[in-house]
Structure 1
Amino acid sequence: MAFWWVNHKQTRDHEVRGGYLWSPYRNRNGAFNQTYENMRHVRVGDTVFSFAHGQIGAIGRVVEAAVGAPKPTEFGSVGDYWADEGWLVAVQFRQVARPIRPTEHAAVIGPHLPARHSPIQTNGHGNQGCYLAAISDALGQLLLALLREDLYQIPEPEPFMVEREEPSQAVLEDVRLIEADHTLSETMRLQLSRARIGQGLFRTRVILSDEACRVTGVTDQRVLRASHIKAWRDSSNAERLSPHNGLLLSPHVDVLFDSKLITFEDDGRMHVHPSLPADVMERWHLDPARKVERFRPEQAAFLAHHRQRFAEKVR
């Protein structure tokens, strides 16, 4: 298990809330950047200290090692000068109870800083151009002590979702077609394949948009599914990765929604397909008259497509 320090002032809220780190492969001019390359060396179970706005305010455990991924759309204009593809590392973050400012502890932190690619200066201020820095075990333990955090109380990494059933033949065929499409970059092929089975960047983006199942209110991300609104087969590659084309749903609600047995109006009203036996909703404690939270305007076109498929469904 290793310790890492991430400087992410501009993207901190997206990354900590979304549970990931993202960096381009190289600098804007194509030059090698060791602190981006460090993303490739992170391993499951490693500890990450989140530094932003002059303080360490969150600690994370790595859940998945680095994979190629498109730049998160939620970065918006902040990421305009970064390349469109880079490394994505899944991290489970949590806020610390007592954030610390390295400037107030520079005298004890300074001697433990790495000689090269240090995340901060000896005075405690951040180093521009340094994203992810490897730090020694001694510095990692010192930071835990200053934060009054016990390493053993930091939750062990858990998967973001329950293991799903074996992929169906249709899903496997879609993945095979993605892998065979060499008009796509390797990064895009990987993320599309992961999105098809409910993982990867698509799921992360949906979690950023929806913190709970809209119908049940369940918030534990481990047991929720990122479901496409507009079906995979009907979507373009961009739509397949778009967070606006996704909902975070409890597994039984996902089954109903994916099967077009329920659908929603933009204002949150639910419709139940007449072919669905009434006792299903009753036994699953789902109230068809309950109005869920209004959907975002960007989801309107996807929901309209879903309602169309719902209306076309015979049984």
Structure 2
Amino acid sequence: MRYWWVNQNQTYKHEVQGGFLWSPKRNRDGRRNQFYDNMMEVRAGDLVLSFCDTRIKALGIAQGSAQSAGKPEFGNIGNQWDDDGWYVPVEFDEVAVPVRPKDFIDELRPHLADKYGPLQADGNGKQAVYLAEVSQDFAETILRKLGAGFSQVLSLDDTTVENAADDEAQSALQGRVDIGPTQKEQLVLARRGQGIFKANVRLNERGCRITGVTDPRFLIASHIKPWRLCNDHEKLDGCNGLLLSPHIDRLFDKGYISFDDDGAILKSAKLPDMVWQGWGLVRETVIGNFNHGQKVFLAFHRANIFQGD
């Protein structure tokens, strides 16, 4: 993880609500700008501190790397910016009580960068800065003032962390010499719920037990024990899967729901009632019995993935 500070005085509501960062690629006169070049250094999982109106008002987790993109719909803002720019997807969460870095600049000053930092020594923001890298010590100081720890920050979008773990596991798989290319391909396809894995799951499951959808084109073959944690056999085992509608797969994969061995739906206390009710879920619903192999994997899911009460 790297740590970034973004000045959003003009674009805060657009970028935070829209879930992105955007900057031109160069200054109006064509010269390079380090604070725009920094966009190309952002990677999925990086932490972004959003600064607006002298305060840190939101925290974000980058969802990917920079892409070339035209200027978003900023209205009358940024008319002086070139249309050719960098776009970085970022999921933001606004903080409950914004903090003003100038109020604790004495604690931040030892961690300020000499040249391309976002703050002056007196705690005022540098006007020319858009995206600046800050140190982990700097970021930790900000998070302490916000009352947030890194575990809370990562929970803003733990999908990014899980995807990174899956990517690492897939990279290790591709580098193996003990299995052939055909087996590698099927193991990689299984990560996406495709190939032999989906065929094996369909031998046990007829459709999504919650929504009743049976058309496989609209169902995901979801691992019960996450792909990244499985051995080769478990990655392809049809008992380690359920056919789920996409929104149900999302809840199950994130541990917001699970199932008892008798098929009763378990709801996490962390799943908002608005989502539970809006998606038509009913706690009392029993979706049917599972076979022995599925029960083994479901026990793992309840113990290690389900977020409980």
TM (normalized to structure 2)?
A: 0.50
Report the equivalent of 2:144: 145
SS of the residue 2:64 aligns to:
strand
SS of the residue 1:36 aligns to:
helix
Distance in 1 of aligned mates of 2:77 and 2:39: 20
Summarize the Cα distance change of 1:89–1:157 in structure 2 as closer, same or farther, 3 Å threshold. Answer: farther
Report the equivalent of 2:86: 87
* 1:261-280 pair list within 5 angstroms: none
AA in 2 matched with 1:14: H
Summarize the Cα distance change of 1:13–1:70 in structure 2 as closer, same or farther, 3 Å threshold. Answer: same
1:104 is displaced (CA, Å) by 0.7
CA contact (8 A) 1:3 1:135 kept: yes
AA in 1 matched with 2:96: A
For the pair 1:59 / 2:59, whether they are aligned, the reply is yes
Query: Is there any run of 5+ residues in structure 2 with no aligned partner, and where?
Result: 161-245, 248-278, 281-309
Distance in 1 of aligned mates of 2:64 and 2:47: 12
Report the equivalent of 2:11: 11
* 1:27-66 pair list within 5 angstroms: 27-66=27-66
Cα shift readout 1:252-307 (whole Å, capped 9, x = no counterpart): 9xxxxxxxxxxxxxxxxxxxxxxxxxxxxxxx99xxxxxxxxxxxxxxxxxxxxxx
Task: Count how many residue pairs are aligned between Structure 1 and Structure 2.
Answer: 163
Higher Cα Rg, which structure: 2
Distance in 1 of aligned mates of 2:79 and 2:5: 24
Report the equivalent of 1:135: 134
AA in 1 matched with 2:29: N
TM (normalized to structure 1)?
A: 0.49
Distance in 1 of aligned mates of 2:159 and 2:68: 21
- Aligned-residue sequence identity (percent) comes to 44
1:146 is displaced (CA, Å) by 1.3
1:157 is displaced (CA, Å) by 4.8
AA in 2 matched with 1:43: R
* 1:107-118 pair list within 5 angstroms: 107-118=106-117
SS of the residue 2:75 aligns to:
helix
Query: Is there any run of 5+ residues in structure 1 with no aligned partner, and where?
Result: 160-250, 253-283, 286-315
CA contact (8 A) 2:101 2:142 kept: no
AA in 1 matched with 2:131: L
Report the equivalent of 2:2: 2
Distance in 2 of aligned mates of 1:126 and 1:26: 21
1:114 is displaced (CA, Å) by 0.6
Distance in 1 of aligned mates of 2:69 and 2:159: 21
Cα shift readout 1:142-167 (whole Å, capped 9, x = no counterpart): 111111111111223547xxxxxxxx
Distance in 2 of aligned mates of 1:158 and 1:17: 19
AA in 1 matched with 2:126: N
